[in-house]
Structure 1
């Protein structure tokens, strides 16, 4: 029998929340790998251009793909961890009922924006798959793939936050206004 006092906060999270946490962990790890890859590719570009005087043509499209990946997945993880732009001081001074409504509305805005980004990035991705990038054997529209995935993740993470805000108790705690 487990002691309820010794339960960690990870044990108290729901199964869907743990899945979303795991997806966010994978996304941030991919972002970190993309940033490290960006450093390696740009380092090679500088070395090849200025030391061996033979600038490779593939570095620019690969750099753009790595940058799009790091930016999109990093932004989605920022939504999940609630480390994105917000008016947190204003929200701290709202009554719990109003704060709940504002939290739900803010999450809804992110859901809509994430869905729009995911949809149109997917449309642009599919539109340019048959066109090759100059300098690399990649589709010209490949940079829209991480943008589409990042937008979809933003929408899913914000939808989860909207559900959490809807389920939050509205009780007015002392000192919480």
Structure 2
């Protein structure tokens, strides 16, 4: 059961990474287009800026969940690392509990935000519901909560990307 849950979280993590990377690539393409149309063509396109904002929402909430899974988020652990191991474990459980509260907040209030804005449209994208644009908030909250559950039950997952030193040791076994 634990191995199946870990594999499911690995797949969810990969999906979060792919979605976040696609959003980042699209942001990187849209912003130069906006600059080009404004300063070269002297006719600014109206859609790149709101699209970049929408993609940033996707990148932020989905990407943050993925970063949290592998402990790649920004954190300050100096004082926690000074504690005895027993207290570090308790502090980590407290942190996971507080993060679970944040994830639940994102799920509940994000869903309410989606529901309230579902029938509104965006001026530059009249075919797109505002509620759809806020879906990354509760979806990111669900991903985050699942990653927290995984961490509490199974521990921190292994980093799927070898670090620089690990890769060079594997590439040069005779050093």
User: What TM-score, normalized to structure 1?
Assistant: 0.78
Aligned counterparts of 1:123 and 1:54: Cα–Cα separation in 2 = 38
Can you give the 5+ residue segments of structure 1 that lack an aligned partner in the other structure?
1-12, 166-177
1:5 alignment counterpart: none
Aligned to 2:10: 21
Question: Which residues of 2 match residues 11-50 of structure 1 at below 5 A?
Answer: 14-50=3-39
Q: What is the distance in 2 between the residues matched to 1:45 and 1:15?
A: 45
Aligned alpha-carbon RMSD (Å): 1.8
Counterpart check, 1:156 vs 2:133: no
TM-score (norm 2): 0.79
Name the stretch that deviates more: 34-43 or 96-105. Answer: 96-105
Higher mean C-alpha displacement, 144-153 vs 107-116: 144-153
Q: 1:72 aligns with which of 47, 61, 66?
A: 61
Residue-pair matches, total: 153
Q: Which of 83, 86, 96 is matched with 2:72 structurally?
A: 83
Is contact 1:57–1:136 with CA below 8 Å preserved after alignment? no
Aligned to 2:166: none
**1:129 maps onto 2:129 in alignment:** no
Q: Secondary structure at the match of 2:46?
A: coil
Which consecutive residues of structure 2, in runs of 5 or more, have no partner in the other structure?
A: 156-175
Alignment of 1:89-128 (within 5 A): 89-128=78-117
8 Å contact kept, 1:108–1:162: no
CA distance in 2 between partners of 1:139 and 1:54 (Å) = 27
The higher radius of gyration belongs to 1
